[in-house]
Amino acid sequence: MSINKTYAVLGLGRYGCAVAKKLADSGAQVLAVDIDEEIVGSLANEVPYCRCADVTVPEAFELLGIGNVDVAIIAMANSLEASVMAITLCKEAGVETVIAKCACEMHRKIFTRVGADRVILPESESGTRLAKNLLSSGFTDMMDLSQEVSMVESDVPEGWINKNLIELNLRQKYGINVVAVRRGEDVSVNINPQEPLTKDMKLIVIAQTKTLAKLNRK
């Protein structure tokens, strides 16, 4: 995912609000929807495109244009029926990626069967962390080390393939520190800075969270 994609967050409880706020704060285009007018009103100043609607009603779903977004986050885990309906409508409308929050392992199985591309137990992944991972295209995982610093695992950007770390000079240019390289299940912290990077590598890097967006553009 990335800041260049469009997002819809359906359900604005604590988890949905955290996702929507983080996406909006990062400059992504995000549509936030909830059936509760009071919740929508309280979020309107922080998320520009915040609407009150029942997204399980096909007419309302179509009117909001949810089918046109790249990524939909279904955050209505308190209602199994509503979540299943929203997932189904998203997939039928052709939404590329549907991510659903679930309440338990059984619901995870149900959401997967009806078409969710990814199902999340909120106990294992916070809304803020999900938003960061969505915005960080190419990152397979992100972990906050502090409020300012994160560690991520990333694919090798296209422009870096066949170049070595000395040539790229990542620390000097971007403040990015490569601390390990993964190939399959093998992780090495003894990195040869003269070895060319290859497509099959994963880079494990530490950097200030705000600088990570630079990595996505390379």
pLDDT, tens digit, 9 for 90 and up, residues 185-203: 788 888 889 999 999 998 8
Strand 139-144 versus strand 149-155 pairing type: antiparallel
Residue 63 has pLDDT above 50, yes or no: yes
- Reported in sequence order, the residue ranges of the chain that DSSP labels E, i.e. its strands, are 6-10, 29-34, 49-52, 71-74, 97-101, 118-120, 139-144, 149-155, 177-183, 186-188, 202-208
Mean pLDDT of the chain, nearest integer = 83
Residue 3 has pLDDT above 80, yes or no: no
Residue 48 has pLDDT above 70, yes or no: yes
pTM of the predicted model as reported, rounded to 2 decimal places: 0.61
Q: Within the chain, which residue ranges are assigned CATH 3.30.70.1450?
A: 138-216
**Least confident among 40-54, 85-99, 116-130, 173-187:** 116-130
Select the more confidently predicted residue: 82 or 139: 82
Cβ atoms 108, 118 nearer than 8 A = no
Pick the CATH number of 138-216 from 3.40.190.10, 3.40.470.10, 3.30.70.1450, 3.20.20.450: 3.30.70.1450
Q: Which CATH superfamily is domain 6-134 in?
A: NAD(P)-binding Rossmann-like Domain (3.40.50.720)
Q: Within the chain, which residue ranges are assigned CATH 3.40.50.720?
A: 6-134
Distance of alpha carbon 33 from alpha carbon 44, whole angstroms: 10
pLDDT in tens, 150-166: 777 778 888 899 999 99
Residue 37 has pLDDT above 90, yes or no: yes
pLDDT for 191 equals: 86
pLDDT for 62 equals: 93
Residue 139 has pLDDT above 50, yes or no: no
